[in-house]
Amino acid sequence: MDIYHGFFDLEDGQSDVEFADALSGFLGHLLSAGKIESWRLMRRKLGLGPATLGEFHLMIEVRDLAQLDAAFAKVSTRAGETENRHAAVNQKIAGITFALYRDFPDPHRQRGEEKF
């Protein structure tokens, strides 16, 4: 699995629960279309964590980079129901930082022949 992370805050004045509902609508739409495998939204607790990462942490799991690319292709059409759901989320987010991680060790990893 590859995991696409987003760390962010909400724009001033945005409702946290309205944002969570909009995100559920958007990512549920991608999930039902087979463009992602799962997702999870988390919020910083007790103020613990670097301020530069923001208050919220989003994790989106995809099988591989091909599935992530298919999700980006669907969203980047900027049309129809996907665009409506994307806009309802995107307009509420401030200062987002992205990261991409993978499960480790890779399931196809061979051991014993590494040169470094």
pLDDT, position 1: 93
pLDDT, position 51: 87
Q: Are 17 and 115 in contact (CB under 8 A)?
A: no
Q: Are 16 and 102 in contact (CB under 8 A)?
A: no
**Helix-strand-coil split of the chain, %, nearest 5:** 35, 30, 35
Question: What is the per-residue pLDDT across 32-89, written as a single tens digit (0 to 9) for each?
Answer: 999 999 999 999 999 899 989 999 999 999 999 999 999 999 999 999 999 999 999 9
- The class level of CATH for 2-102 reads alpha beta
Q: Please report, for the chain, the start and end positions of each structural domain, with discontinuous segments joined by +.
A: 2-102
